[in-house]
Structure 1
Amino acid sequence: MFLIVVGIILVIAGFAIDTPALTLSRYARPIKITGIIVALAGALTASIRQIDAGTIGVQSLFGKVNKNILPNGLNVVNPLVEVMVFDTKTQNYTMSAANSEGEISGDDAIRVLSSDGLEVVIDLTVLYRIVPTEAPNIYQQIGSDYKDKIVRPVTRTRIRDNAVYYDAVSLYSRKRDEFQDRIYKAIDKDFKDRGLALEQLLIRNINLPESVKKTIESKINAEQDAQKMEFVLQKERQEAERKRVEAKGISDYQQIIASSLTDRQLQYEMINAQKALAESSNAKIVILGGGNKGGVPFILNDK
């Protein structure tokens, strides 16, 4: 466009000095020719536009937006049109309490009020992209700063609108996935109406008030202590049951032995033991007919 303007200026200057009364009139023709060449070169250059991969071009001529988008590659266009390039790849917008993570420097986390009136701080990342066919409408109705006009305010508003249905502890624990799914559906609908496609919504962190954190930690510790005590009691019950079974077995064994042994059986077992001792090669003294009850012999070893 710049070369076209320069060429036109040179042509006009050539006609202006093309007067025999002026000493510069002899340069009029060369200036005209140069102006025409520069204008043609500028028109040729401005007529060819390159659109890189992952982007599309939207044409605007004197404020009127052309609905036909320019695809990737080289495109021949009107040299007077203005081409606005839109990124159609996946983009992310992060709102975080950390200074170095969000799109805006400083604490940009989303502060919401839960159903129990507590302030909850949420760090969030939105993954989205432009719908290529909707790019002319975005440019015409919103402009190129759709992040600040649509992505940021819609996300923050929908999160605040839906957080009031949950108490702080639920947002932090068991209802977190449900909350994320709920705000995803709300934001997705608003984005579609504006030509944007929501790909994913990532709740990165939920910070509760310090008093609530201490309450939750105390509850978790109490539950862990209760589980530990239950384990100990269960182990003691199992040990008591083992001892009961063992005692029952010993008692049953003693009753069986007591009911089955007779004097003749004992005498027979004694004779077998004496016989085994007599056949042993170990030196020993065996005194038969001991004085103890039952006539069981004493066995004296000489060592």
Structure 2
Amino acid sequence: MIKKFLKKISNWLKSKLPYFIVTLLILLLILVFFYKRIVITIQSGEAGVLYMRFFGGTVTDYVYPEGVNIIAPWDHMYIYNVRIQTKFHDFEVLTNRGLPIQLSLAIRFHPAYEMLSVLHQQVGPDYINTIIIPEIESILRKQIGHYNPEEIYINKDNFLTEIIMKALDELGQNFVKINDVVIRAISLPDSVKKAIEAKLVKEQQYQAYHFQLKIAEEEAKRKRIEAQGISNYHKIISETLNQKIMKWHGIQATLELSKSANAKVIVIGAGKNGLPIIGNIPLEQAIENGKK
């Protein structure tokens, strides 16, 4: 009984074998043809969002991680770069005087991983040009429009950094995280730039001139103090150098000269006020000369 059943199955399989082979070949051809749509490899630093054509559209409650993922060929996997990226952007703003200024920005950002599927559904892959750049431009235009060209050119009180911090605070970073916004360059019209530079040069010259005046005033003050000190010194000497002191110095000088090996002619008591004469110069005059 069992043998008969197995034989029937074997005969049926043999009769259907060509159909099985054809079906298998068709499946293999489909697999080869749709391989890239079925087997999805998500590289390092990337994440995927799945769009299901017949079962609800975008999958918003799951983000596909790195590695190999198998999907139906009629569905589509959108791959996003979730690493920190840099976007360079140039645009023009107007100052409070209506003058145009060219700003060059460097924007560092990355999509929020957990919100990637919602970002894809509500914004799309071109989110950098859809939400990031327009919002940053709008905030910077609004803030910089309160300043004049000179304040912007010299970055007075480092206000550009404050503007950038305000821009980061005001940006809705639900879908995208803005790491930093750097102003790489500020370009003004040549006429405005030359006028500002000329003014800055004049201000530096003015400060240098006042610095030199300050030095001259300090030097004059020093000389007045020095002159007053010399005057006080001579006044004290003239008041204290009386005849008794001069005679005492004459005696000391005579004693010192007597010890000298050089030939000297000393006339004791021959000078004015009884002071000795050294050579042909009275000692009193010699002392006065030394004092001068």
Aligned-partner residue type, residue 58 of structure 2: V
Measure the CA separation in 2 of the matches of 1:180 and 1:245: 50
The counterpart of 1:33, out of the listed 24, 27, 33, is 24
Map of 1:198 onto structure 2? 178
Q: Return the offset for 1:131.
A: 0.8
Query: 1:124 touches 1:205 (CA, 8 Å); kept in 2?
Result: yes
The counterpart of 2:236, out of the listed 256, 261, 271, is 256
TM-score, normalised to structure 1's length? Answer: 0.75
1:240-255 equivalences in 2 (<5 Å): 240-255=220-235
Given the superposition, is the C-alpha separation of residues 209 and 51 from structure 1 closer, same or farther in structure 2, using an over 3 Å criterion?
same
Measure the CA separation in 2 of the matches of 1:76 and 1:28: 27
Percent identity over paired residues? 27
Measure the CA separation in 2 of the matches of 1:50 and 1:60: 16
RMSD over aligned Cα atoms: 2.9
1:66 aligns with 2:59: yes
Given the superposition, is the C-alpha separation of residues 148 and 262 from structure 1 closer, same or farther in structure 2, using an over 3 Å criterion?
closer
Q: Return the offset for 1:293.
A: 7.4
The counterpart of 2:147, out of the listed 166, 170, 173, is 166
Map of 2:287 onto structure 1? none
What secondary structure, in the 3-state scheme, does the structure 1 residue paired with 2:59 have? strand
Query: 1:58 touches 1:70 (CA, 8 Å); kept in 2?
Result: yes
Query: 2:37 touches 2:76 (CA, 8 Å); kept in 1?
Result: no
Given the superposition, is the C-alpha separation of residues 188 and 87 from structure 1 closer, same or farther in structure 2, using an over 3 Å criterion?
farther
1:1-303 equivalences in 2 (<5 Å): 30-39=21-30, 48-62=39-53, 64-67=57-60, 68-95=62-89, 109-175=90-156, 177-182=158-163, 184-186=165-167, 189-192=170-173, 195-290=175-270, 295-299=275-279
Measure the CA separation in 1 of the matches of 2:125 and 2:229: 87
Aligned-partner residue type, residue 81 of structure 1: D
Query: 1:110 touches 1:122 (CA, 8 Å); kept in 2?
Result: yes
Q: Return the offset for 1:140.
A: 2.0
* Per-residue deviation, residues 2-56 of structure 1 (Å, max 9, x unmatched): xxxxxxxxxxxxxxxxxxxxxxxx9766433322344467788865433222110
What secondary structure, in the 3-state scheme, does the structure 1 residue paired with 2:146 have? coil
Query: 1:58 touches 1:66 (CA, 8 Å); kept in 2?
Result: yes
Aligned-partner residue type, residue 203 of structure 2: E
Worse overlay, 223-232 or 85-94: 223-232
Unaligned runs of 5+ in 1: 1-25, 96-108
Query: 2:92 touches 2:101 (CA, 8 Å); kept in 1?
Result: yes
TM-score, normalised to structure 2's length? Answer: 0.77
Measure the CA separation in 2 of the matches of 1:273 and 1:215: 76
Query: 2:101 touches 2:188 (CA, 8 Å); kept in 1?
Result: yes
Unaligned runs of 5+ in 2: 1-16, 281-292
Query: 2:47 touches 2:65 (CA, 8 Å); kept in 1?
Result: yes
Worse overlay, 128-137 or 152-161: 152-161
What secondary structure, in the 3-state scheme, does the structure 1 residue paired with 2:117 have? helix
Aligned residues: 261
Query: 1:154 touches 1:187 (CA, 8 Å); kept in 2?
Result: no
Worse overlay, 84-93 or 57-66: 57-66
Measure the CA separation in 2 of the matches of 1:215 and 1:294: 82
Given the superposition, is the C-alpha separation of residues 234 and 163 from structure 1 closer, same or farther in structure 2, using an over 3 Å criterion?
closer
Aligned-partner residue type, residue 276 of structure 1: E
Query: 1:60 touches 1:81 (CA, 8 Å); kept in 2?
Result: yes
Q: Return the offset for 1:176.
A: 7.2
Query: 1:94 touches 1:126 (CA, 8 Å); kept in 2?
Result: yes
Query: 1:56 touches 1:87 (CA, 8 Å); kept in 2?
Result: yes
Q: Return the offset for 1:266.
A: 1.0
Worse overlay, 50-59 or 289-298: 289-298
